[in-house]
Amino acid sequence: MQRLANLRIDFALEWAALAGLAALDLLWARAIGFHLMVGWSDGKLVGAGIIVMILLRLFWSRGGMMAEYFSLTAAATAVFAVLSYLSLASSGALVDAQLLAADRILRFDWMAGYHFLLVHPAILAVLKFAYESMVYQALYFCVLFALMGNKRHLREMFWLVLVTGLLTSAGVVLFPALGPFKAFGVVPASGSFIPEMEHIKSGRDLNFTMSRMTGVVSFPSFHTAMSLAYVWGFRGTGPIGWAIAGLNLLMLCAIPWYGGHYLVDMIAGAATMLLSLALVKTAPLAWTRLTAANASPGYAAKSADAY
């Protein structure tokens, strides 16, 4: 009976929120004629994680938590990838000229950095490693805090990513841009995602394959927001936290040239992360106060005194 009792869901509210976003994706896609081709292989990570979760929960509750959180984040990645495409497809005129002008006001010379990296391949390789470490940081975060049994911290990070994803998707709708690779006519070091973005902006033949989706978020920079989010997420872990902070500092240096971002994209991404963190940290407090106020006058007064 105890083993059967272990077959619980640790992140029910998070799954419900993700299901709501998936429903939004579906309704939005139908409204604009967006078609997504999904194969069985696209769901293998989520499915495998759920199967492992069920098996582990019978014998190891923290392992089950780890597998569930892995499945949750894998599913969230897919849902937000689709949301970003829908946001760009529904956006207005490109604002690259305005973003580039803002960079010039800040005296940020994107092309100077690009040429510097071309003649320093060792530095380029280090920045590439840092830029591509995001998925490994997410995986390590899942493993570390699940092993620690820190479900609260896992949940906070999920909501931070979710709110950040919503705000950056809103940024795509309001401030669509193709980025400096297009503005300066150079080829990205990690392969060009510009044709995909131009295809989306054309509004024609909106048929896409899940497995071939690329990053299409320019302003604000989601990568910037996530690099700072993981610095926050790994806080208090001693040498691990310092190592993650150093890795993300390198990632920030890589973002303009590997992610194809203007400096103002990164500034907006940092602001988005801070706003998201503020919302995530204050929402439970606001909810507690609201429920306390609705409970009874005496209970509300005690709760107010406690805060």
Note the pLDDT tens digit of each residue in 199-225.
Answer: 999 988 899 988 888 878 999 999 999
* pLDDT for position 291: 52
Q: Is residue 149 part of a domain?
A: yes
pLDDT in the model for residue 1: 46
Is 40 domain-assigned?
A: no
* Residue 2 confidence (pLDDT): 46
Domain span at residue 135 reads 94-206+214-283
Tally of domains within the chain: 1
Q: How do the pLDDT tens digits run along the chain, 307 residues long?
A: 445 455 578 899 999 999 999 999 999 999 999 998 887 666 666 777 677 766 777 777 888 888 889 889 989 999 999 999 999 999 999 999 999 999 999 999 999 999 999 999 999 999 999 999 999 999 999 999 999 999 999 999 999 999 999 999 999 999 999 999 999 988 776 667 888 899 999 988 899 988 888 878 999 999 999 999 999 999 999 999 999 999 999 999 999 999 899 999 999 999 999 999 999 998 766 655 555 555 545 444 444 444 3
> Given this model, what pLDDT does residue 191 score?
62
Residue 7 lies in a domain: no
Residue 202 lies in a domain: yes
Could you tell me if residue 73 is inside a domain? no
- 117 domain residue, yes or no: yes
Residue 48 forms part of a structural domain:
no
pTM: 0.86
Look at residue 292 in the predicted model and tell me its pLDDT.
Answer: 53
The answer to whether residue 24 sits within a structural domain is no
pLDDT in tens, 63-79: 888 888 988 998 999 99
pLDDT attached to residue 293? 56
Three-state secondary structure readout of the chain: CHHHHCCCCCCHHHHHHHHHHHHHHHHHHHHHCCEEECCHHHHHHHHHHHHHHHHHHCCCHHHHHHHHHHHHHHHHHHHHHHHHHHHHHCCCCCCHHHHHHHHHHCCCCHHHHHHHHHCCHHHHHHHHHHHCCHHHHHHHHHHHHHHCCCHHHHHHHHHHHHHHHHHHHHHHHHCCCCCHHHHHCCCCCCCCCHHHHHHHHHCCCCEEEHHHCCCCCCCCCHHHHHHHHHHHHCCCCCHHHHHHHHHHHHHHHHHHHHCCCCHHHHHHHHHHHHHHHHHHHHHHHHHHHHHHHHHCHHHHHHHHHHC
